[in-house]
């Protein structure tokens, strides 16, 4: 068994695709439209879907906003240099909600960014 994907609902599909591809550097892997079901799924990630977990962006026609609740935490992404990644994300128009630095009560360097729908993405720099 392996994890295939994580699905998040988005209020503006093209805005979300732009964030994940242009700000975080992911690729659109595949798209499926379901007009009879009134939704579209777009899978994005850093490589082939068969090589690792990806994110499924689900857009339900006519729904522009979702309540996130308190159960969902974040999506984690490995980056070689969290400090540099934050600078690049800000330069591309992304929002950094926690600058890069050691995690509380630890030494791992992390940062957090936020997507257009308010989902948090944690950037984790591997320890050397």
The CATH number of the domain holding residue 47 is 3.10.180.10
Question: Same domain for 16 and 52?
Answer: yes
For residue 128, pLDDT over 80 is answered with: no
Asked whether residue 67 is assigned to any structural domain, the reply reads no
Give pLDDT, residue 86.
98
Question: Same domain for 42 and 11?
Answer: yes
For residue 121, pLDDT over 80 is answered with: yes
Give pLDDT, residue 68.
86
Residue 41 vs residues 45, 58, 80, 107, 125: alpha-carbon distances, Å = 13, 5, 29, 37, 30
pLDDT tens-digit series, residues 17-29: 999 999 999 999 9
User: Which run of H or of E encompasses 106?
Assistant: none
| Structural domain total, the chain | 2
pLDDT tens-digit series, residues 61-102: 999 999 988 889 999 999 999 999 999 999 999 999 999 999
Asked whether residue 41 is assigned to any structural domain, the reply reads yes
Calpha distance 124→102 (Å, rounded)? 10
Give pLDDT, residue 28.
98
User: Which run of H or of E encompasses 91?
Assistant: helix 82-91
Q: Which residues contact 9 (CB under 8 A, 6 or more apart)?
A: 58, 59, 60, 63, 66, 117
Asked whether residue 111 is assigned to any structural domain, the reply reads yes
Give pLDDT, residue 70.
85
Question: Same domain for 55 and 17?
Answer: yes
| Mean pLDDT for the chain overall | 95
Range of the domain at 92: 75-125
pTM of the model: 0.90
Helix, strand or coil, per DSSP, at residue 121? strand
Is 122 one of the annotated active-site residues of the chain? yes
Residue 49 vs residues 6, 8, 29, 42, 54: alpha-carbon distances, Å = 12, 17, 7, 12, 6
Q: How buried is 36 (Cβ within 10 angstroms: 0-12 exposed, 13-18 middle, 19+ buried)?
A: exposed
Among 34, 60, 86, the domain boundary falls at 60
Asked whether residue 94 is assigned to any structural domain, the reply reads yes
The closest alpha carbon to 20, from 119, 106, 99, 124, belongs to 119
Catalytic residue among 49, 88, 122, 127: 122
Q: Residue 124: phi, psi to the nearest 5? A: -120, 125
């Amino acid at each position: 068994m392996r994890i295939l994907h994580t699905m998040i609902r988005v209020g503006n599909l093209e805005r979300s695709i732009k964030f994940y591809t242009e700000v975080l550097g992911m690729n659109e892997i595949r798209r499926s439209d379901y007009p009879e079901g009134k939704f579209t799924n777009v899978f994005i990630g850093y490589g082939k879907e068969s090589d690792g977990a990806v994110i499924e962006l689900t857009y339900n026609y006519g729904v522009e906003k979702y309540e996130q609740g308190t159960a969902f935490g974040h999506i984690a992404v490995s980056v070689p240099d969290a400090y540099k990644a934050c600078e690049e994300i800000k330069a591309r128009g992304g929002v950094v909600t926690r600058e890069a630095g050691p995690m509380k009560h630890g030494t791992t360097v992390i940062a957090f960014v936020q997507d257009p729908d308010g989902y948090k993405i944690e950037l984790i720099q591997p320890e050397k």
